[in-house]
Amino acid sequence: MRNRGDYRLALATARAELIEGDALARPEVPDLVQASWRRSLTSGVSPTALHSRYTPDLDLSSRLVRCAQPVVSRLIDQLADVPSCVVLTDSKARIMLRQDSTPWISRVLDRVSFAQGFDYAEGAVGTNGVGTVLEFGASVAIVGPEHFVESLQAFACTGAPVRDPFTGRIEGVLDVTCLQEQYTPIMHSLARSAAAEIERRLVRDRNESQQALFDVYARVEARTREAVVAVGPRVTMANTALTALLDSADQAALADHMRFLIDQRPVRVDDRVDLPSGLQIRLRGSAAEFGGDVAGMVGVVTRCRDLVVDEDVITGRPAGGWRPGGGAVVDPRAGTGSHTPAMNAAITRVRTALRSGRSVLVVGEPGTGRHTLLRNEFRGLGPRHRVVAVAADQLVGTGLPTEVTGLDRAGDAETLLVVRDVDRLGAAAGAALLDRLARRAGRVHLAGTSGPGGPGREQPLLAAFDDSVWVPPLRNRTADFPALARSIVEDLSPGGRIRLTDEVVATLVRHRWPGNVTELRAALDHAVRRRPVGTLEIADLPASCQSAPKNALREVDRVERDAIVAALRETGGNRKAAAEVLGLARSTLYRKIAEYGVTD
């Protein structure tokens, strides 16, 4: 056991040497403390003065605070015999909640601004049991002279991260603080136990659908050492093996691919998926159901080069042989033009069908680029390949428009007739078109687009299609956003006069885009008109781009949402000031921001 007096002396000497500019190379000082001191010094933290920032308008009624409140109260009861406090911070180290065991410790901690609203990030106040937890990513205990700032060295603080069990992200820190003479390692254990209890409460606080998804994920993850991922409409969970296997871009692409599969309501999936990094994986997944609906999908991920025949941990049965399922990417060139596995799959299948002369129906939401995909792939087959598009509302009864009758005079050109919105085509018009196409077999090829529901089975034209391909909606193509948005801006403003920042792209990614690429283009056109030269800013985007509501909005809701976004922009994101501008109570504004999914 190390001598406490010798340890304090070693810490004091090492800290003085570091401040004076000498290299810090003393084995007595823990690596974690050394690294934190260096970061503190680099961040400009004064070793002799405490400067903690204050944020006046924190959301003190957040879900995290609500779940932590009873845990903090119970913990402070356990510490009643020791002058101490328990605090909860958010993910930015801002203190949201503090409870004290005695009035005396309250007065002492107020003097060092360890109070509600104050910032204890490492870059603000140096090494401590809150900010250093966020930097280290795990629980830590900082005792006495291990603090970087002198005024904190009288204290001992031990903190543990509180993670969202669904996303794995650190949502806050649970910290226990007392005088250094009264610290014992038991406090470290109590902080970690309390943080774990808050995490369990966060699980129970989720809606029942997310709880069902988490239960399936937990069962699968417990049965395997492989990488496991769970994806719901608004949540992603992954174990350590998955985060070690895939980088953040590949994880996002995989989540997009799984959400696209969820929309197709599969019972089981066994896909080979090409990811943006070039890595090819096998995804074995099954749907997690709740109340007859699909709550999400849980999958086991393996690198294809590591594949072995093993037990299927989803079902507990032997896996046996396997083959790529629907939507799998099997063409090595499929990565061209997209970083999204589902979009690559669509490109590959459309390209393969058109090259082989098979007719193809492209299914997806309006605005997803279904016709553009068909046009580009067919024109790429040769210089004499042309595309003729006709909308369903142009085909009425047995009378065909000139675009169709003109196919008889097409000569030797290879022609692709694209019937747009086949799901809206009448049966008589479909039959007439089918008869016309039979006369031009060999030179006229058929393709079509349809909404997600697909055409009815009574549609005669369905007999003419050999294959169907699903195109993912834009919300499932986040990996494509940077290139797609910049491509649209270049098209809207030739010559490179407009630049997009990463912050603008991130704002675009968070939006749900019910109108897909068509809506994205309209939003960027709005922004370019506001700022025809220079760097686009978030304020140049339509107000709708700073909102990701959980449900469809009525017109009155959209007006209110736009007013909230405008007020936040006007006040620089200050919610208290925005509430005053709008004439709303702060609690009402916070609730509506959450309801409309406003990002500020």
pLDDT: which is higher, 339 or 530: 530
pLDDT: which is higher, 458 or 400: 458
Query: How would you classify the pairing of strands 268-274 and 385-391?
Result: unpaired
Cβ–Cβ under 8 Å, residues 358 and 469:
no
Task: Pull the structure tokens for residue 80.
Answer: 């009643």
pLDDT at 18 over 80: yes
Query: How would you classify the pairing of strands 84-90 and 170-179?
Result: antiparallel
Scan for tokens 């605005």, then name that residue: 367
pLDDT tens sequence across 213-267: 888 998 999 899 899 999 988 788 888 889 889 988 888 889 989 988 887 777 7
Q: If pLDDT is split at 50, 70 and 90, which confidence band does 328 have?
A: very low
DSSP string covering 175-221: EEEEEGGG--HHHHHHHHHHHHHHHHHHHHHS-HHHHHHHHHHHHHH
pLDDT at 528 over 70: yes
Question: How many helices (H) does the chain have, and how many strands (E)?
Answer: 20, 17
Cβ–Cβ under 8 Å, residues 349 and 334:
no
Rounded distance between C-alpha atoms, residue 106 and residue 185, angstroms: 22
Instruction: Out of 24-28, 305-309, 557-561, pick the least confident.
Output: 305-309
Looking at residue 410, its pLDDT comes to 55
Please report the domains of the chain, with CATH numbers, ordered by start residue.
4-205 (3.30.450.40), 208-328 (3.30.450), 342-474 (3.40.50.300), 476-596 (1.10.8.60)
Element at 303 (helix H, strand E)? strand 293-303
Burial of 533 (0-12, 13-18, 19+ CB in 10 A): exposed
For residue 186, which phi and psi values (nearest 5 degrees)? Answer: -60, -35
Task: Pull the structure tokens for residue 219.
Answer: 């069962």
Rounded distance between C-alpha atoms, residue 182 and residue 169, angstroms: 32
pLDDT tens sequence across 21-66: 776 667 788 889 988 998 998 889 999 999 998 988 787 878 899 8
Cβ–Cβ under 8 Å, residues 539 and 504:
no
pLDDT: which is higher, 293 or 600: 293
Stated pTM of the model:
0.58
Query: How would you classify the pairing of strands 360-363 and 280-290?
Result: unpaired
pLDDT tens sequence across 122-142: 999 999 999 999 999 899 999
Looking at residue 441, its pLDDT comes to 52
Which ranges of 264-316 would DSSP assign to H, the alpha helix?
none
pLDDT tens sequence across 539-553: 899 888 877 666 666
pLDDT at 114 over 90: yes
